[in-house]
Amino acid sequence: MKHNTQYSLKEHNTFGIDVRCQRYFSVENEKALQNLLTDPAFTSLKESYPDFLVIGGASNILFTEDVNGIVLKISIEGVTIKEETDEYVIVRVGAGVEWHYFVEFAVAQDWGGIENLSCIPGSVGAAPIQNIGAYGVEVSRVIEAVDAYNIALNEFERFNKEECHFGYRESFFKMQGQCRYIITSVDFKLTKKHVLHLEYGAIKEELKNLNIENPTIAAVSRVVCAIRSSKLPQPKQIGNAGSFFKNPVVDSVLMERLRSKHPDVPHHVFGRDFKVPAGWLIEKAGWKGYREGDAGCHEKQALVLVNHGKATGKEILALSKKIQKDVFQKFGIQLASEVNIFLSNHQ
């Protein structure tokens, strides 16, 4: 059982929070995962600690304290073609593959469907958990199936798309399946005859600026990366986990009240309700660019909380709570965090 003890997770979370775990394991394939989780020495080690945490790229987690126990990193690599026609390709991708590496790989093969999801930090295995989305596309659109390891039963299970129960930044794995499954690979169905999604945000405008009239998926990918890097901080430079909050969904009564006070409030229809950008609410409440020690609200995108260097997870959490409280007082809207907050189970 090769592993590290008293291991710093600073390089293993995009917020760059300096916490430790007692034991750090990494597995590189499905067999190794099963062997480890069924090894009696591992089982008794696991039972001796209160915490057991599985991570991928750790790009959507805020560590507020040390992990009193085991961290297991899923490092399963590989991209394999399972089925190919003139219209589409189905590829199986290991959970440990870096998300943007996979996007670049797909774009280079001229496989379409994920170009709008370019430059998102994190791993392939984490993508279905919160159903990553950007620029009008959610990953659920291209997911065929998810393979996962059932921790209690010690066996592999396959989930088709319906069984994943995808929603806005939601899935079975974030709800009932939380802590019960470890995603090992994801099957994607990608196009060879592409349908581009250019309606959202600045994509069209940016393509026009570059004089691109008939964009390829490679051009869309480039433009998305350019838009993202113009307003989202790079985790290697400033620690962050992307959007800290979800965009709230409000009913028509609240929407009307909001619109009467703030006619400029951006929003879009979401079923019978409306989705309002949390970034707008936070900016309007005056938090954009705010800093308290090394914990801050990003100056270009208020939805992103940042670690300017040595902030602790507790400091960032405290700032997020102040923002939530203030937004609620000013607009009557409760913001829910999109990032997972790690709290130790202690002993």
Of the pair 99, 280, the CB lying nearest ligand EPU is at: 280
Helix (H, G, I), strand (E, B) or coil at 164: helix
Q: How far is the CB of 341 from ligand EPU (least distance, A)?
A: 15
Of 36, 91, 134, 258, which one interacts with ligand EPU (CB under 6 A)?
A: 134
Residue 246 binding ligand EPU, by CB under 6 A: yes
- Evaluate whether 91 touches 69 at the Cβ level (below 8 Å): no
Among 14, 75, 140, 247, indicate the residue that binds ligand EPU (CB under 6 A): 247
Of 9, 55, 303, 327, the residue at the interface with ligand EPU (CB under 6 A) is 303
Burial 23-59 (b: 16+ CB within 10 A, else e): bbbbbeebeebbebbeeeebeebbeebebbbbbbbbb
User: Taking Cα atoms as reference points, which of 317, 80, 92 lies closest to residue 183?
Assistant: 92
Contact 119, 96 (CB under 8 A): no
- Find the binding residues for ligand EPU in span 248-267 (CB under 6 A): 266
The helix-helix angle for 30-38 and 40-47 (nearest 10°) equals 70
Site track for ligand EPU across 153-192, x = CB under 6 A: ----------------------------------------
Amino acid at 240: N
In the residue annotation, 243 being an active-site residue is answered as: yes
Shortest spacing between CB 223 and ligand EPU, in angstroms = 12
Catalytic annotation present for 221: no
End-to-end CA distance of the chain: 24
| Nearest position to ligand EPU, beta carbon | 242
Q: Please state the φ and ψ torsions of residue 209, each to the nearest 5 degrees.
A: -55, -35
Clarify whether 338 is annotated catalytic: yes
**Distance separating alpha carbons of residues 53 and 20, to the nearest angstrom:** 12
Among the candidate windows 16-24, 159-167, 276-284, 320-328, which touches ligand EPU by CB under 6 A?
A: 276-284
Least Å distance, CB 281 to ligand EPU, is 8
Binding site for ligand EPU (CB under 6 A): 134-135, 201, 242-243, 246-247, 266, 277, 279-280, 283, 288, 301-303, 338
Instruction: Report, as residue numbers or ranges, the catalytic residues.
Output: 169, 243, 338
